[in-house]
Structure 1
Amino acid sequence: METFDLSRLTDFDFEAVCKDLFEEELGVRLELFAAGADGGVDLRHLSSAGESLVVQCKHWHRSGRAKLIEHVENTEAAKVAKLKPQRYILATSASLTKGAKDKLFEILQPYVKTPSDIYGKEEIDALLRKRDHIVRRHLRLWLTSASVLNSLLAKNVVTRSQALAEEFDGTLRTYAVNPSYDRALELLESRHVCVIAGIPGIGKTTLSQVLSAHYMAMGYELVEISEDSDEANHLWNDELNQVYYYDDFLGQTTFDEKLAKNEDSRLLSLMKRVSRSPNKRFILTTREYILAQARQRYERLDRHSFDVHTCVIDLSDYTYQARASILYNHVYNSPLPQTVKQSFAEKRVYRPIIQHRNFNPRIIAVTLAESGLLSGHHESLSDDIVANLEDPYRIWDHIVRNQLGETDVKLLKLILTFMSDIRLDDLQELWMELGEPLRELRKALGVLDGTMLRSMHQYGAVHVGFHNPSVRDFLVNYVQSDIGEVTSLISMVRRFEQLETLWLIFPAPGGGPMAETYKRRRDQLEQVASMVFHAEPVNLRNSRHGKNYVRRAWLCLEMGLDLESEVIRELALEAASDADTILNASESTDLHAFFQTLARHKTSRGEEIMFDCISWAVEWIMGDLSDWNLIEEAEDFLRSIEHYDPGIEVSEALARLDSVRDDYAESAFEDWAQTHRDPVFSGSEMKEVIDHYKAIGSTDPFDMSEYDNVLQRLDEYDAGHETPFAAPRKDSAAGLAWNEVREVQSMMQTLRESSD
């Protein structure tokens, strides 16, 4: 028998749920009132004859029934006697025994006509079980019932750690429904794939987690992706309903964090595969400008129609009512003293926040969470929120400049020199190389973990990274504003990944704003580059390869050209002169970037190296054409370097590639035409093969006498992989609940009189 965890509801949520329940149960329309001025009336109905019905809602889940009885006897009974309603109903989230009900009935006579007019948690659970449409209307109620959250840990491949379950729990407690929820859900239902985009802190991760929880409540298994789309393919199960969750799939700060080899192709293939699978959903998040950068760099991504899959969250989604809900939920669920919570019911306190032009949910959450660090007292908390909305970096600036020690700041800067989370073992090794004792590292982690940093167990090791992207954003600006900090950061470089991070997150290439700063530190950079060019890589969370000399050569060639440094250029050219550098490349995008930069090196030596590198690159890309995606990638890459080739080697490779493609397509088609059970080639790949030849207007690889049969088999393949699932009710979208509740003022005033 299902029970509902009413403790996760706010006071305001509980009243809204009671309103919907008792309107149906009693068959009347109930007015919803704010606490305070109306003498404790929460819900009221006045009949045409003037008789009054009052429903009092007491969200009394923490203090228990003994305190509830005491409160009703000492406070509520007098209010009821003053109101003199014809009928009075008490609804509470506390669990009530028969004795407790009888005691409350005795206190509230003659206005409570029968003990049945006193509803405890058990009675409310029973009413909810009979009214699924009301449960579904209140998102926080049904997404936080025990069956939903427990499913996070019940599946054997669901999540990487309990940390994600705890993160979902916090998200669901504070989420406020807004129009982006319905838009994203509609995309997922119609196209099965949704890319959630928006500015930092606008609520992308929050929305993606709520949507994931929505599907989990419908019986879907959650698969978190943290590295690349291959994780989804490895855990794909045709028989299961699955929702794939990929947060910040293009990185947090700049797209130069790059996709792994063939990841653009694999990612798009996975999106296509999910879109064709009725029992799969794919939720991705990214910042809008990073998606734009990715589409500029990756031709495949640029060709894909992301617009039809993208739900952009912007400030227009946050009406004043939605903003008030966000503020209310965070204040209600915070550990702040009750007097501080009550202060947010004042118009002069909440209005400047919810009406602010830079309203941002993350800033609200972080300011409340870090209120002790920010001001040391709570009297200025609302002012802190407004000030942080005016200047988002202020929240961290005050902490860094006034609350943290020198060692704490040094650790933050060291973490900044890596694009991704770093293993604690590697962090300790680097810390000692910088001449710092490990006890200082442990102390600094103790101060920062849970605030500006977070540590987590993943893949059998502890990783350390920034608690959220706003910390990295602040530190980038913090360092960039002070040349002394730039020098300090450069002095921390002991691995090539750190040098790469500095060059990519601080805009210097092509004469960017950091170019002159770097030029004044050219000697220092030359020394550092020479030291780390051959250094062993750090085991980052997203690291997949060893030394990637193509990427190292590209980066140093770009640095050398922009800084006019012969020393750094020579590191790149020496590596590029070695065939193994190209033949052991990790990904074609790195090679493409290298060729673009090498083309700027207009010297006879540069032209000679270009000629050799193209020959090696053709050999490398043509060395593995074992599947359709690799063939597609090879063509994209060869087209991208064709104009650099002084000879005909690339043109000849493209001609050979056409022949390989036709042979592959013919084999795949024959497989589907002749194999009666499970073909070797996947149905999604076969569809891509046919779509390609349709696009170029050719049918040469196919036996046209079997063409219609193969198409029919592909349709049957889709139908055979369809797993029934419960579609969401059209009349139960969570956003509808907010159309039926009180205005912003009533919502905030609920903070005045917390039930317990």
Structure 2
Amino acid sequence: MESFDLSRLTDFDFEAVCKDLLEEEFGLRLEIFATGADGGVDLRHLRPDGDSLIVQCKHWHRSGRAKLIEHIQNVEARKVAKIAPQRYILATSVALTRDAKDKLFEALKPYVQTPSDIYGKEEIEALLRKHGKVVRRHLRLWLTSASVLNALLAKNIVTRSQELAREFDDALLTYAANPSYARALEVLESRRVCVIAGIPGIGKTTLSQVLSAHYMATGYELVEISEDADEANHLWNDEIPQIFYYDDFLGQTTLDEKLGKNEDSRLLSLMKRISNSPNKRFVLTTREYILAQARQRYERLDRHPFDVHTCVVDLEDYTYKARASILYNHVYSASLSPGVKQSFADPQVYRPIIEHRNFNPRIVAITLADSLLLSGRRDSLVDDLLANLENPQRVWDHIVRNQLNETDLKLLKLILSFLGGIPLDELQILWLECDGSVRDLRRSLSVLDGTMLSSAERNGKVHIDFHNPSVRDYLVSYVQSDIGEVASLIRLVKRFEQLDALWVVFPAPGGGPMAEKYRWHRELLEEVACNVFHADPIIMRHRGKDYVRRAWLCLEMGRDLGSETILNLGIEAASDENVVLNANDSVNLAALLQTLAEDDQIDKDVLISCIEWAVEWILGDLSDWNLMDEAEDFLRSIQEYDPGIEVEQALERLESERDDYAETAFEDWSRIHHDPNIPGSEMKQVIEYYVSNGSQGPFDMDEYDTVLQRLDDFDEARRSSFVAPRDVSTAEPTSNSVQEVQIMMQTLRESAD
């Protein structure tokens, strides 16, 4: 179904859209007036006989239903009575329940002739779907139209997924079965969602690709997710089996790379939706420590039973035979001379490798595959492989210290200053601002692309990022090891998100390892922070400047560096009502309030004001159950910082809103429970909320049982219509048999002859 983001419209845009829609709908001309005191009239149609049609447009998408109703009852109703039009129409971007419409109708009658003359968000969107030429007439609507953007995004996701499927061939060539495969497959069959966790390079991505390939072989369609959980919804198809693949879903290096506004909620909603869908599977990968960080920071993630969905890959999975299989597969498929391949059949060559305490599939793969590290001689290759296992950083250190020049290193550090890569055209702009030439950029890209960097098309643009996570890991260590490198990295910061990434990747809070090194460059950091605090973002410009995040970061940096200059940047932003009321997400806002509460150097009046504004912001939009959940999580997370009763009163108001919303949702479901547009999953959430709190709520328990039975009947009907794939086979048994390894490795000699 077509959807539109009305929040992207300005107040005047909304009036203009309403004018065009209602003119098309009613077949008459409406007047629109210049900005100013409207006396209750935004649009008007006067007939020759003196009858009048008045339209009032209320673009209150952040204020919410309660404030709109209060305003109409106390202010607008008097204005309408004074005008006394023949017919009055109210159009608003607020989502209206039946109860809300009834209250508005009572306040505005007899001028509003029926509740149908009150157009809420749903009715506005329905008219937009009906009158497509109005959408095309208004640029902001066209840019956010689902029919336009979803088609482009879906095409991009399909293309990306097809490219990923082709990569599976390489993974299958070198993969060696181990116990983690059977564990993960069991989780997917029983839970339908599996989070594969482990240390860097342990084989999480390879395992997830092999699992995905298994399901593709049984008829599943592959959908790769790379940006956020919403991508899955663009290609969701109830009718066909699908496997969704999300590599490094929490980021490659730090948690802050991935989880944007409400992404934790969207991710869990997607996981729940797939868990309830018999013909869907979901494979995600992450590093164990990042998953632990996420559960500490996000209450929703902490409450989720990740343990039952998680398969941890560790070194114990790599038995003697499994390690030998990995080495064998990589040597067999590598571009090595027959003589070098044959040499690996010698126990004196393969045993030190597969018995090494730091055995890691990625190190084996990179060492054998990267032509920059290969000399073609047996002794050199084996020595390289053992040395890289002993010191994994050596894989990239060899290239950086022996084969790259200063311009190449500058480019690597510039990419390091962004989390998640950067579009090539934006990189060129930034490169020029850092006094580089286009010619040097092109030359360095030609040297590094395919080795330490990779280029890929996303949403019609070429993005540059690190070839794999181990490159970023190495560069972090490389920069940390030298104060001069830290300074050179700071000098490349021209946008605030670079400063943010620098502080996230090189943490200093609490006197961390980088704190003292940063103190050496405090004046340089102060200069950079002042220069970039108000800078436009170079990535994702449409999201604007997240001043809440900027304020929080400056408070953290100022405190840890002992910098009054940077601290004041944060305090000044936190003291601005507009900054808080235009927050992008509740997570960063909660972090800002926590920092304000814990820092004794900051005037507590700033905290009190911020809490008041934050409460107003979070209660401004309670139009669905997930937003109410988010509001409750947020309010409870900041309750301990509130010196008064502001948060307590907000929680009471939220409880009242929940009751009203739940009652209306229940009545709607009971009345038209067969309608597929009624969100059954949300109805379950409503009921579970009251049951978990030991409260009957506004309903009888018999009614609860009736609705739950209807929902269960609906799910059962879907399950019975689904044809399950063929039985999955278990992974082959593992063995530590020395004889099996000897036989396997001996085939290298025979295959190379």
Report the TM-score range of the alignment, normalised by the length of the smaller protein.
0.7 to 0.9
Q: Which residue pairs with 2:531 in the alignment?
A: 531
Separation of aligned partners in 2, 1:374 and 1:653:
65
2:367·2:373 contact (CA, 8 Å) conserved in 1?
no
CA deviation vs aligned residue, 1:73-121 (integer Å, no higher than 9, x gap): xxxxxxxxxxxxxxxxxxxxxxxxxxxxxxxxxxxxxxxxxxxxxxxxx
The answer on 1:555 being equivalent to 2:556 is: no
Cα separation, partners in 2 of 1:601 and 1:293, compared to 1, 3 Å: same
The answer on 1:569 being equivalent to 2:567 is: yes
Q: Which residue pairs with 1:364 in the alignment?
A: 364
Q: Which residue pairs with 2:748 in the alignment?
A: 751
Residues 507-546 of structure 1 mapped to structure 2, 5 A cutoff: 507-539=507-539, 545-546=543-544
Paired letter, 1:186 = E
Residues 265-664 of structure 1 mapped to structure 2, 5 A cutoff: 265-373=265-373, 375=375, 379-539=379-539, 545-603=543-601, 606-664=603-661
Separation of aligned partners in 1, 2:321 and 2:371:
24
Cα separation, partners in 2 of 1:741 and 1:458, compared to 1, 3 Å: farther
Separation of aligned partners in 2, 1:303 and 1:281:
22
Match of 2:251, SS state, is coil
Paired letter, 1:493 = V
Separation of aligned partners in 2, 1:713 and 1:234:
28
CA deviation vs aligned residue, 1:523-564 (integer Å, no higher than 9, x gap): 000000001001111226xx8722100000000111111111
2:223·2:243 contact (CA, 8 Å) conserved in 1?
yes
2:246·2:283 contact (CA, 8 Å) conserved in 1?
yes
Q: Which residue pairs with 2:217 in the alignment?
A: 217
Cα separation, partners in 2 of 1:715 and 1:727, compared to 1, 3 Å: same
1:348 Cα deviation (Å)?
A: 0.8
1:492 Cα deviation (Å)?
A: 0.6
Separation of aligned partners in 1, 2:411 and 2:193:
39
1:679 Cα deviation (Å)?
A: 4.9
Q: Which runs of 5+ in 2 are unaligned?
A: 1-153
1:238·1:721 contact (CA, 8 Å) conserved in 2?
no
Residues 219-234 of structure 1 mapped to structure 2, 5 A cutoff: 219-234=219-234
1:635·1:654 contact (CA, 8 Å) conserved in 2?
yes
1:495·1:537 contact (CA, 8 Å) conserved in 2?
yes
Q: Which runs of 5+ in 1 are unaligned?
A: 1-153
Paired letter, 1:650 = V
CA deviation vs aligned residue, 1:356-391 (integer Å, no higher than 9, x gap): 111100000000112533657554111111111111
1:392 Cα deviation (Å)?
A: 0.5
CA deviation vs aligned residue, 1:189-239 (integer Å, no higher than 9, x gap): 001110000000000011111111111111111111111111112322221
Separation of aligned partners in 1, 2:343 and 2:207:
28
The answer on 1:665 being equivalent to 2:666 is: no
Residues 713-752 of structure 1 mapped to structure 2, 5 A cutoff: 713-722=710-719, 723-729=721-727, 732-736=729-733, 743-752=740-749
1:625·1:631 contact (CA, 8 Å) conserved in 2?
yes
Residues 698-709 of structure 1 mapped to structure 2, 5 A cutoff: 698-709=695-706
Pairwise CA RMSD: 2.1
1:737 Cα deviation (Å)?
A: 9.5
Separation of aligned partners in 2, 1:720 and 1:531:
60
Moved more, 549-558 or 717-726: 717-726
CA deviation vs aligned residue, 1:559-614 (integer Å, no higher than 9, x gap): 111111111111111212221111111110000111111123325x6212111111
Cα separation, partners in 2 of 1:725 and 1:181, compared to 1, 3 Å: farther
1:157·1:223 contact (CA, 8 Å) conserved in 2?
yes
1:229·1:263 contact (CA, 8 Å) conserved in 2?
yes
Separation of aligned partners in 2, 1:215 and 1:282:
11
Moved more, 470-479 or 734-743: 734-743
Separation of aligned partners in 2, 1:567 and 1:376:
56
Separation of aligned partners in 1, 2:271 and 2:433:
44
Separation of aligned partners in 2, 1:364 and 1:740:
22
Paired letter, 2:168 = F
Higher relative CO (Cα under 8 Å, sequence separation at least 6) belongs to 1
Q: Which residue pairs with 2:246 in the alignment?
A: 246
1:705 Cα deviation (Å)?
A: 3.8
1:428 Cα deviation (Å)?
A: 0.6
Q: Which residue pairs with 2:182 in the alignment?
A: 182
Residues 93-172 of structure 1 mapped to structure 2, 5 A cutoff: 158-160=158-160, 162-172=162-172
Cα separation, partners in 2 of 1:738 and 1:719, compared to 1, 3 Å: farther
1:653 Cα deviation (Å)?
A: 0.8
Separation of aligned partners in 2, 1:593 and 1:453:
33
Separation of aligned partners in 2, 1:434 and 1:378:
44
Separation of aligned partners in 1, 2:193 and 2:500:
33
Match of 1:224, SS state, is strand
1:647 Cα deviation (Å)?
A: 2.1
Moved more, 317-326 or 236-245: 236-245
Separation of aligned partners in 2, 1:689 and 1:419:
38
CA deviation vs aligned residue, 1:268-302 (integer Å, no higher than 9, x gap): 12111111111111111100010101111111111
1:704 Cα deviation (Å)?
A: 3.4
Residues 15-94 of structure 1 mapped to structure 2, 5 A cutoff: none
Separation of aligned partners in 2, 1:268 and 1:335:
43
1:454·1:466 contact (CA, 8 Å) conserved in 2?
yes
Match of 1:176, SS state, is coil
1:156 Cα deviation (Å)?
A: 9.5
Paired letter, 1:547 = K
Paired letter, 1:519 = R
Match of 1:311, SS state, is strand
Separation of aligned partners in 1, 2:693 and 2:257:
34
Paired letter, 1:515 = A
Sequence identity of aligned pairs in percent?
A: 69
1:246 Cα deviation (Å)?
A: 0.8
1:727 Cα deviation (Å)?
A: 3.9
Cα separation, partners in 2 of 1:530 and 1:376, compared to 1, 3 Å: farther
Cα separation, partners in 2 of 1:591 and 1:277, compared to 1, 3 Å: same
Paired letter, 2:233 = N
Separation of aligned partners in 1, 2:542 and 2:239:
30
Separation of aligned partners in 2, 1:568 and 1:671:
53
Paired letter, 1:621 = I
Moved more, 679-688 or 581-590: 679-688
1:159 Cα deviation (Å)?
A: 4.5
Match of 1:462, SS state, is strand
Separation of aligned partners in 2, 1:340 and 1:725:
50
Paired letter, 1:399 = I
Paired letter, 1:584 = N
1:738 Cα deviation (Å)?
A: 8.1
1:257 Cα deviation (Å)?
A: 2.5
1:218·1:726 contact (CA, 8 Å) conserved in 2?
no
Separation of aligned partners in 2, 1:240 and 1:608:
57
Moved more, 319-328 or 570-579: 570-579
1:191·1:309 contact (CA, 8 Å) conserved in 2?
yes
Cα separation, partners in 2 of 1:200 and 1:737, compared to 1, 3 Å: closer
Separation of aligned partners in 2, 1:724 and 1:544:
41
Match of 1:286, SS state, is strand
Match of 1:599, SS state, is helix
Separation of aligned partners in 1, 2:613 and 2:635:
12
